[in-house]
Amino acid sequence: MTTAPATISKRKARKFSPWAVVAWIVALGFFFPVFWMVLTAFKQEGDAATSPPKLFFTPTLDQFKAVFDQGIGPAMLNSLFATGLSTLLVLLLGVPAAFALSLRPVRKTQDALFFFMSTKMLPIVAAILPLYVIVSNIGLLDNIWALVILYTSMNLPIAVWMMRSFFLEVPGELLEAASLDGASLWRSVREVILPLVSPGIAATALICVIFAWNEFFFAVNLTAVNAQTMPVYLVGFIAGEGQYWAVLSAAATMAALPVILCGWFAQNKLVRGLSFGAIK
Amino acid sequence: MATITYRNASCIYAQAETLAVDSLNLDIQDGEFVVLVGPSGSGKSTALRMLAGLEDIDEGSIEIGGKDMTGVPSKDRDIAMVFQNYALYPNKTVAENMGFALKLRGVSAGERRKKVEEAAKVLDLTEYLDRKPAKLSGGQRQRVAMGRAIVREPQVFCMDEPLSNLDAKLRVQTRTQIAALQRRLGTTTVYVTHDQVEAMTMGDRVAVLKGGKLQQFASPSELYDKPKNAFVAGFIGSPAMNLVTAPITSDGIRIGESTLELERDEMALLADAGLKEVTIGVRPEQLELSESGGVEVIVDLVEDLGSEAYLYTHAGAGIQLVARSLPRSPARLADTVRLRRTPDGVVHLFHPDTGERIG
């Protein structure tokens, strides 16, 4: 009886499925542009512009050197600063809020949740003009702190909703058990609840990092030179005097790298998040 | 160790029309094992959670060892609780789970380890001390939850249906283990269950609740022999007591086409009460098959359990009676048979409207 399901799943795994082929094609379809970008980044401009495109060439780091020479450093630092700090702020504000809205609900919990959601309903384009005026009036135009504030408020509702769903998975009795064991609220949250939702925190942080890192609209409208972030900097390569594919690819690869690294590191945590059900 | 006193303790849930627990009064002795039992929605769990500080005491008070607990947070009540789903900390090992309360109290690591190991020995958990709860079976998790409670040597144990997630056989086994452990430790215990068998077998005294109100608080044998009202009569005992509301005749009560005869003193009680109808209660084991006299019934089902058999019968319109008989009972499905009270059988009399016991 106990071995039956195992053999069934084994047989299933071995069987050829046309859907597997479809899945592979779709997966390759997603992966190919990224692969091509990375490949092109290692080409000379001459190799990059050929038609049909060259698959074999002598790889070079010239384009990356060019990107650094053109001053990617400040843009990278701006992006790191705005992304890192805003994500940190979002977690500091959002995790306690989500905890309160899930494990300690009060009368207006639903309304509060809806309020968070509603802040995402207005198209940013509709708000950019007043935002510009406000940012200008408080003297934060072309200042990275403006983006820190905006990215924090942009990601906070998402983080609250995401974290809330993770907190809802935690059985409320755990808090009660800890409290009967003599733990203060802070102690039971730190020792019992937080370790359980840490995969959720990792996932939420990753989403915030991705959204903040790739954010373009605020950055392009509210910054110029000093506070320029990576997406804005990248646009500079899609400009005027002809297409320079190789150097654009190198810059884009550089821009994608931090997010890919974050995803890579978060992966272990995220996978552990999937086995969350083992709690009960 | 301590006494527990519920004094008119009430709990009101927001938006609920009735009180979850309505003026509960209980006096629990030091070292006593008290079971709160009732159907779902009876307020038994709420009453326990009020004691543990997990629900507010909205009116009245609850005292532990003579000290009023109203407004005292759970963590300062010195109560250990075993939850229905155990609520073990998934990220901690068995040993850490059991030792968490001691750690919070600042007990040294060595002392903690010693106490945890002692408790683990009692509960047969020694080899599992370094495992996480997810790697344990249901029975083992249940024992860890017990261990977490006993390691602390608290004033009071609260147990909220701790056996309901175990399979039938393990439940019976664990039932006796918990009862024996409690007797040995002598810790005042309040135990919540919906299972009247658990209530009867484990408790020194049993409080039967219904709709937030205490129905009766007595020893198991008294609940069984002298239920205070028709609800308790029907709730305690398995199969349940036969409860029939029927008109009173000159020598008994009329059930279907026949008469169940009552003793003279019972008739006198009914006469004093001045009733035309009465609810009678007879336990299945106090009814037997007879050749003549008694109540004529038709057999609907024969349940032969091996050591005994139960006859499920009906008499006339919607009156159902269950009787115990010898196994391999001669009665067959759809037979018409006669049932009468056994020589030492007791008939309980209840008021047909209020359900209160008469006499």
Across the A:B interface, residue pairs with CB atoms under 8 Å apart total 65
Q: Which residues of B touch A173 (CB under 8 A)?
A: 83, 85, 87
Cα–Cα distance for residue pair A148/A212, rounded to 1 Å: 9
pLDDT at A1: 37
pLDDT at A144: 95
Q: Inspect the interface and report whether the beta carbons of B80 and A280 lie closer than 8 Å.
A: no
Q: Inspect the interface and report whether the beta carbons of A183 and B90 lie closer than 8 Å.
A: no
**Substitution target from B85, B91, B103, B141 for chain A, most A beta carbons within 10 A:** B91
Q: Stretch B119-147: mean pLDDT, rounded?
A: 94
pLDDT at A280: 42
Q: Is A44 on the interface with B (CB under 8 A)?
A: no
Q: Which residues of B touch A180 (CB under 8 A)?
A: 52-54, 74-75, 77, 79-81, 158
Confidence of residue A242 (pLDDT cuts 50, 70, 90): low
Q: Is the pLDDT of residue A2 over 50?
A: no
pLDDT at A4: 45
Residue type, B355: G
**Substitution target from B74, B83, B132, B137 for chain A, most A beta carbons within 10 A:** B74
A142 within 8 A of A81, measured Cβ to Cβ: no
pLDDT at A14: 61
Q: Inspect the interface and report whether the beta carbons of B79 and A180 lie closer than 8 Å.
A: yes
Q: Stretch A154-178: mean pLDDT, rounded?
A: 92
Q: Which residues of A touch B90 (CB under 8 A)?
A: 196, 278-279
**Substitution target from A181, A184, A190 for chain B, most B beta carbons within 10 A:** A181
| Alpha carbon of A200: minimum distance to chain B alpha carbons (Å) | 15
Cα–Cα distance for residue pair A162/A204, rounded to 1 Å: 7
Q: Is B81 on the interface with A (CB under 8 A)?
A: yes
Q: Is the pLDDT of residue B274 over 60?
A: yes
Q: Which residues of B touch A195 (CB under 8 A)?
A: 91
In this structure, what token pair is assigned to residue A83?
């992304």
What is chain A written as a DSSP string? --SHHHHHHHHHHHS--HHHHHHHHHHHHHHHHHHHHHHHHTS-HHHHT-SSPPSS----SHHHHHHHHTTHHHHHHHHHHHHHHHHHHHHHHHHHHHHHHHHS--TTHHHHHHHHHHTTTS-HHHHHHHHHHHHHHTT-TT-HHHHHHHHHHHHHHHHHHHHHHHHHTS-THHHHHHHHTT--HHHHIIIIIHHHHHHHHHHHHHHHHHHHHH--HHHHHH-SSTT--HHHHHHTTS-SSS--HHHHHHHHHHHHHHHHHHHHHHHHHHHHHHGGGGG-
Q: What percent of chain B has pLDDT over 70?
A: 100
Query: B 17-36 residues with CB below 8 A of A?
Result: none
B278 within 8 A of B269, measured Cβ to Cβ: no
Of A173, A184, A195, the CB nearest to B75: A184
Q: Which residues of B touch A192 (CB under 8 A)?
A: 89, 91
Cα–Cα distance for residue pair B351/B353, rounded to 1 Å: 6
Q: Which residues of A touch B87 (CB under 8 A)?
A: 171, 173-174, 176-177
Q: Is A180 on the interface with B (CB under 8 A)?
A: yes
| Alpha carbon of A113: minimum distance to chain B alpha carbons (Å) | 21
| Alpha carbon of B26: minimum distance to chain A alpha carbons (Å) | 22
Q: Is A184 on the interface with B (CB under 8 A)?
A: yes
| Alpha carbon of B265: minimum distance to chain A alpha carbons (Å) | 54
Q: Inspect the interface and report whether the beta carbons of A174 and B87 lie closer than 8 Å.
A: yes
Strands B309-315 and B242-247: unpaired
Q: Is the pLDDT of residue B165 over 70?
A: yes
| Alpha carbon of A205: minimum distance to chain B alpha carbons (Å) | 21
Cα–Cα distance for residue pair B277/B244, rounded to 1 Å: 10
Q: Name the residue with tokens 């969350």.
A: A276
Cα–Cα distance for residue pair A151/A153, rounded to 1 Å: 5
Q: Is the pLDDT of residue A239 over 70?
A: no
Local structure of residue B248 (DSSP, 8 states): B
Q: Is B13 on the interface with A (CB under 8 A)?
A: no
| Alpha carbon of A197: minimum distance to chain B alpha carbons (Å) | 11
Cα–Cα distance for residue pair B348/B356, rounded to 1 Å: 10
3-class state of residue B12 by DSSP: coil
First to last CA, chain B: 38
Q: Which helix (H) or strand (E) holds B6?
A: strand B4-11
Q: Stretch B56-65: mean pLDDT, rounded?
A: 94
pLDDT at B256: 83
Q: Stretch B278-284: mean pLDDT, rounded?
A: 94
Q: Per DSSP, what are the bridge partners of residue B321?
A: B313
Q: Is the pLDDT of residue A69 over 70?
A: yes
Confidence of residue A241 (pLDDT cuts 50, 70, 90): low
pLDDT at B287: 92
Q: At residue A46, what are phi and psi to the nearest 5 degrees?
A: -60, -45
Nearest chain A residue to B73 by CA: give it. A179
pLDDT at A267: 79
| Alpha carbon of B50: minimum distance to chain A alpha carbons (Å) | 12
B93 within 8 A of B132, measured Cβ to Cβ: yes
Q: Inspect the interface and report whether the beta carbons of B74 and A279 lie closer than 8 Å.
A: no
| Average pLDDT of chain B, as a whole number | 92
Q: Is B85 on the interface with A (CB under 8 A)?
A: yes
Cα–Cα distance for residue pair A76/A64, rounded to 1 Å: 14
| Alpha carbon of A86: minimum distance to chain B alpha carbons (Å) | 29
Interval A84-133: pLDDT, tens: 999 999 999 999 999 999 987 778 888 999 999 998 898 989 999 999 99
Contacts of A3 (CB under 8 A, 6+ apart): none
Task: Let me know if B172 is exposed, middle or buried by CB neighbors in 10 A (0-12, 13-18, 19+).
Answer: middle
Contacts of A232 (CB under 8 A, 6+ apart): A75, A216, A219, A220, A223
Q: Which residues of A touch B79 (CB under 8 A)?
A: 180
- Range among A167-171, B224-228, B304-308 with highest mean pLDDT value: B224-228
Q: At residue A110, what are phi and psi to the nearest 5 degrees?
A: -60, -40
Nearest chain A residue to B106 by CA: give it. A182
Q: Stretch A254-277: mean pLDDT, rounded?
A: 76
Confidence of residue B226 (pLDDT cuts 50, 70, 90): very high
Q: Which of A202-211, B216-225, B252-261 has the lowest mean pLDDT?
A: B252-261
Q: Per DSSP, what are the bridge partners of residue B340?
A: B288
pLDDT at B332: 84
Q: Is B90 on the interface with A (CB under 8 A)?
A: yes
Q: Name the residue with tokens 């980044």.
A: A41
Cα–Cα distance for residue pair B95/B133, rounded to 1 Å: 10
Q: Inspect the interface and report whether the beta carbons of B80 and A180 lie closer than 8 Å.
A: yes
Of B75, B91, B148, the CB nearest to A179: B75
Q: Which residues of B touch A182 (CB under 8 A)?
A: 75-76, 101, 104-105
Q: Stretch A15-34: mean pLDDT, rounded?
A: 91
pLDDT at A163: 93
Cα→Cα distances B182→A150, B120, B176, B186, B219, Å = 60, 16, 10, 6, 17
Q: Stretch B253-271: mean pLDDT, rounded?
A: 89
Q: Per DSSP, what are the bridge partners of residue B36?
A: B192, B207
Q: Is B101 on the interface with A (CB under 8 A)?
A: yes
Q: Is the pLDDT of residue A67 over 90?
A: no
Q: Name the residue with tokens 């906070």.
A: A156
Q: Inspect the interface and report whether the beta carbons of B81 and A177 lie closer than 8 Å.
A: yes
pLDDT at A12: 54
| Alpha carbon of A252: minimum distance to chain B alpha carbons (Å) | 41
| Alpha carbon of A172: minimum distance to chain B alpha carbons (Å) | 9
Q: Is the pLDDT of residue B277 over 80?
A: yes
pLDDT at A271: 66
Q: Stretch A199-221: mean pLDDT, rounded?
A: 92
